[in-house]
Amino acid sequence: MKAYKVMIITGIFAMILTLASPVLAGHGRNGKGCPPGEKISAILKDFDLSETQKTKVDAIVERHRSERKTLYKSLGEKREVLFDAMHAPKFKEDAVRKAFKMVSSIREKLVISRAKMFAELRGVLDPEQMGYLRGRIETMKGFRGPGRSPVNHLN
DSSP string, the chain: -HHHHHHHHHHHHHHHHHHHHHHHHHTTSTT-PPPTTHHHHHHHHTS---HHHHHHHHHHHHHHHHHHHHHHHHHHHHHHHHHHHHT-SS--HHHHHHHHHHHHHHHHHHHHHHHHHHHHHHTTS-HHHHHHHHHHHHHGGGGSPTTPPP--TT-
Query: Is it the case that residue 25 has pLDDT exceeding 90?
Result: no
Tally the residues of the chain: 155
Q: What would the pLDDT profile of 73-106 be if each residue is shown by its tens digit? A: 999 999 999 999 999 999 999 999 999 999 999 9
| 69 CA to centre of own chain | 12
pLDDT of residue 18: 62
The pTM (predicted TM-score) of the whole model is 0.63
Q: What would the pLDDT profile of 118-145 be if each residue is shown by its tens digit? A: 899 889 988 888 888 888 777 776 665 5
Nearest to 133 by CA among 153, 149, 113: 153
